């Protein structure tokens, strides 16, 4: 199972929005609404910020939103804040004969 | 607030076996979740290794399946990872995590495993 494709980097000024894409296939992203997104600061464990494409866990600001169209999922961070500078990873459930999960290649978000 | 804590040796010899344990607290490991191992190689992304249910049912990454065993110890409220035939390519930070709604909501702090002689 190949990693989902994300852009290596994205950036925006404080207050602006940034959108990160996550492209998979009809066997993963396109097949299930089980895409999740993670924020990872240096030296820390990833933190779940979106699950099931567009749902936010309790405590995650509504500045974070997710969507999906076909084989591509997207994460939008609105109203960028300095603390949003981090690496972001998507993940998708992969069903079929074997339960599997695949992660994205990761995107470094820089707040200018 | 669930806490997960990985433990195990940080150095494994090439061709050796990695053994890690993840302690879950508070609450029971038998509360209906799947418990997961994920790793992150230096400078690379995340890789799902596999998961276990309290019944002992497991799912493994097909690319690692031949080398991986995940077990659960309900009496100790923990689960473990064994990975054989380790090579330098297996050097990574290993995380345990809880599967919730097909995402991973609670993570351990991660433990760095280096494969070197």
Supply the DSSP string of B8-31, one letter for each residue: S-SEE-TT--EEEEEEEESS-TTS
Percent of chain B with pLDDT over 90: 90
**Inter-chain residue contact A45 with B100, CB threshold 8 Å:** no
pLDDT over 80 at A1, yes or no: no
Spatial distance between the Cα atoms of A49 and B107, rounded to a whole number of angstroms: 13
Closest Cα in chain A to B59: A99
pLDDT of residue A96: 79
Lookup result for tokens 């209906």: B32
Residue A11 has pLDDT above 80, yes or no: yes
Contacts of A93 in chain B (CB under 8 A): 102
SS3 B67: helix
Mean pLDDT of chain A: 96
Phi, psi (degrees; rounded to nearest 5) at A104: -80, 170
8 Å CB contact between A31 and A50: no
Average pLDDT over residues B87-102: 96
Q: Is a pLDDT exceeding 90 seen at residue B78?
A: yes
| Residue B52 half-sphere exposure toward CB, CA atoms < 13 A | 22
The nearest CA of chain B is from the CA of A40 a distance in Å of 11
Residue B44: per-residue pLDDT = 76
Token pair in block for residue A111: 């707040």
Region of B110 please: left (phi>0), alpha (psi -120 to 50) or beta.
left
Report which of residues A59 and A96 the model is more confident about.
Answer: A59
Residue B112, chain A, CB below 8 Å: the answer is: no
Q: Over 90: is that where the pLDDT of A79 sits?
A: yes
Residue whose token pair is 């890789």: B47
Predicted confidence at residue B42, as pLDDT, reads 82
Q: How far apart are CA A109 and CA A85, in angstroms?
A: 5
Beta carbons of A46 and B46 less than 8 Å apart: yes
Q: Please give the torsion angle defined by the CA atoms of residues A36, A41, A42 and A48, in that order, rounded to the nearest 10 degrees.
A: -30
pLDDT in tens, B20-74: 999 999 888 988 899 999 999 987 789 999 999 999 999 999 999 999 999 999 9
- Please provide the average confidence, as pLDDT, over all residues in chain B: 95
Please tell me the predicted confidence (pLDDT) of residue A47. Answer: 98
Per-residue pLDDT of A95-107, as tens digits, reads: 878 889 999 999 9
Q: What's the CA gap between B4 and A1, in Å, rounded?
A: 27
In the prediction, which pLDDT does A98 show? 81
3-state secondary structure of B103: strand
Cβ neighbours of residue B71 closer than 8 Å, sequence gap 6 or more = B52, B56, B79, B80, B82
Does position B97 have pLDDT exceeding 90, yes or no?
yes
Distance CA B22, CA B16 (A): 20
Q: Which residue of B has its CA nearest to A108?
A: B45
pLDDT given at position B28? 87
Asked if B53 is an interface residue toward chain A (Cβ–Cβ < 8 A), one would say: no
CA B68, chain centre distance (Å): 10
In this structure, what token pair is assigned to residue A15?
Answer: 């207050």
């Amino acid at each position: 199972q190949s990693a989902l494709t994300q852009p290596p980097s994205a950036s925006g000024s404080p207050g602006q929005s940034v959108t990160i894409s996550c492209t998979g296939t009809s066997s993963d992203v396109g097949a299930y609404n089980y895409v999740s997104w993670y924020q990872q600061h240096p030296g820390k464990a990833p933190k779940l910020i979106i699950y099931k494409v567009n749902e936010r866990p309790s405590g995650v600001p509504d500045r974070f939103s997710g969507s999906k169209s076909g084989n591509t999922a997207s994460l939008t961070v609105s109203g960028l804040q300095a603390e949003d500078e981090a690496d972001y990873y998507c993940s998708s459930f992969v069903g079929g004969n074997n339960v599997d999960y695949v992660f994205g290649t990761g995107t470094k978000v820089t707040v200018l | 607030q669930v806490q997960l804590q990985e433990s195990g040796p940080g150095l494994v010899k090439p061709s050796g076996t990695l053994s890690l344990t993840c302690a879950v607290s508070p609450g029971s490991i038998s509360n209906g979740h799947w418990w997961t191992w994920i790793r992150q190689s230096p400078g690379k992304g995340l890789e799902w290794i596999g998961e276990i249910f309290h019944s002992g049912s497991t799912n493994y990454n097909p690319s690692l399946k031949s080398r991986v065993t995940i077990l659960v110890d309900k009496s100790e409220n923990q689960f473990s990872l064994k990975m054989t035939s380790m090579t330098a390519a297996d050097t990574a930070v290993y995380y345990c995590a809880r599967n919730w709604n097909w995402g991973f909501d609670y993570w351990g702090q991660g433990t760095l495993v280096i494969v070197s002689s």
